[in-house]
Amino acid sequence: MDPITKAIRIQTERTNEMEHSTPLFLTSSFTYNNAEDMRAAFADENEDNIYSRFSNPNTTEFIDKMVALEGAEAGFATASGMSAVFSSFMALLKSGDHLISCSSVFGSTVTVLNKYLPKFGIEVSYVAADKPEEWEAAIKPNTKMLFLETPTNPGLDIIDLEFAGQLTKKHNILLNVDNCFATPICQTPIQFGADLIIHSATKWLDGQGRVLGGAIVGKKELIHEIYLFCRSTGPALSPFNAWILSKSLETLDVRMERHASNAFHLAKALEGHEQINWLKYPFLPSHPNYAIAIKQMKNGGALIAFDLKGGIEGGRNFLNNLKMLSLTANLGDTRSIASHPASTTHAKLSEADRLAVNITPGLIRISVGLEHKDDILQDILQALDQI
């Protein structure tokens, strides 16, 4: 069965009512008819539901669909993308280990890497997404994991997953990929050798800006370690959020197709606009990593980035001129969203620190939604015209 069909058809539980849509199992624990059944449920390799910190029919259904979509062996659902990121580090790394991350990863991930992992004696170093020829030299005898995000945020660089898979296999280190921006519809890093995949389900997996959630999928023995860590430390996804997210996965394929076709339309229409220095979209031949993008992605995804000639002031004016697009810190919604990192999310950093992570003064990132493509384009064009 195709993974797209599985994302629609996998159903863990029905009650005696035989409802068509999976019900919500709002329960913190599960009961037993007798002491023998209860003892069996607690036996080691048993997968019965015991307590919703460990598993629940709703969280199981969501993660089973994610495992199918990513082509993974197993998975665990978490309360947020960040709890997925943190749990994957804490369960698999120990004091004295070394982790290599690409430098352009999600902001809170950088905080975890810089502030929390060193507290536990885990060494972290960074490599540049656009200089893979330098990565091998960063590997040390104690390197245990390479952590990547592709496309990168907010610069939309594309990292060659096949290269990363071969490099990590050669040196026997784990490849952990945050696949949030591409989603499994657009890119499945396991096929290129990734051992673990992280998701913020808060973004396109929900796709409607309603709930927080996260997922970790990958090799069975690694997921077992992560499961044991999560079972004891408690970053479990709530059954309600899992119920929402599992329903959302049924439409992920059709939504991503429209997100990507809208984004491609906008990217082509805006490239070369007189207010814009450069525009990046992975499936435009002008993208510096176009050849890698078409090798490993099924479409260019839902994000476009461009640099305004007007710099900081131009970016601020652009946001203020928008009539329809939302100004919000989130992305991956049915509603198109514009952000100007230099004057908003990254305003506290110095210009030099921003440039070190490729945030130019005029950088605008658009999370392209599902509105009619002409309405999104019109709003952006009128906002550009009045800068």
Ligand X SMILES: *Cc1c(COP(=O)(O)O)cnc(C)c1O
Interaction of residue 333 with ligand X, rule CB under 6 A: no
Cα-Cα-Cα-Cα dihedral sign, residues 346, 131, 180, 111: negative
Measuring CA to CA, which residue among 306, 67, 385 is closest to residue 196?
A: 67
**φ and ψ of 124, to 5 deg:** -130, 135
The interface region with ligand X, picked from 40-48, 79-87, 282-290, 375-383 by CB under 6 A, is 79-87
Interaction of residue 80 with ligand X, rule CB under 6 A: yes
- Kindly tell me which of 49 and 202 has the beta carbon lying closer to ligand X: 202
Instruction: Indicate the residue type of 85.
Output: V
Interaction of residue 81 with ligand X, rule CB under 6 A: yes
Both tokens of 77, joined, read 């659902």
Q: How far is the CB of 183 from ligand X (least distance, A)?
A: 11
In the shown chain, the binding pattern of residues 114 to 153 toward ligand X, with x for contact by CB under 6 A and - for none, equals -----------------------------------x---x
Interaction of residue 203 with ligand X, rule CB under 6 A: yes
Interaction of residue 178 with ligand X, rule CB under 6 A: yes
Q: How far is the CB of 197 from ligand X (least distance, A)?
A: 12
Answer yes or no: are the C-beta atoms of 57 and 79 closer than 8 Å: no
Q: Which of 7, 68, 72, 82 binds ligand X (CB under 6 A)?
A: 82
Relative orientation angle of helices 373-385 and 311-321, to the nearest 10 degrees: 130
Sheet of strand 326-327: strand arrangement: 276-280, 303-308, 363-367, 337-339, 326-327
Q: How far is the CB of 44 from ligand X (least distance, A)?
A: 31
- Kindly tell me which of 317 and 345 has the beta carbon lying closer to ligand X: 345
- Kindly tell me which of 281 and 384 has the beta carbon lying closer to ligand X: 281
- Kindly tell me which of 108 and 166 has the beta carbon lying closer to ligand X: 108
Torsion over CA of 309, 315, 316 and 319, rounded to 10 degrees? 130
Q: Give the chain's radius of gyration (CA, Å).
A: 21
**φ and ψ of 231, to 5 deg:** -60, -35
Interaction of residue 158 with ligand X, rule CB under 6 A: no
- Opening angle at CA 282, ends 178 and 217, nearest 5: 20
Q: Tokens 């040390």 sit at which residue?
A: 140
Q: Which of 106, 135, 227, 281 binds ligand X (CB under 6 A)?
A: 106
The interface region with ligand X, picked from 80-88, 160-168, 283-291, 318-326 by CB under 6 A, is 80-88
Q: How far is the CB of 244 from ligand X (least distance, A)?
A: 13
- Kindly tell me which of 81 and 165 has the beta carbon lying closer to ligand X: 81
Answer yes or no: are the C-beta atoms of 161 and 194 closer than 8 Å: yes
Q: How far is the CB of 77 from ligand X (least distance, A)?
A: 12
Q: Which residues bind ligand X (CB under 6 A)?
A: 80-82, 106, 108, 149, 153, 178, 180-181, 200, 202-203, 212, 214
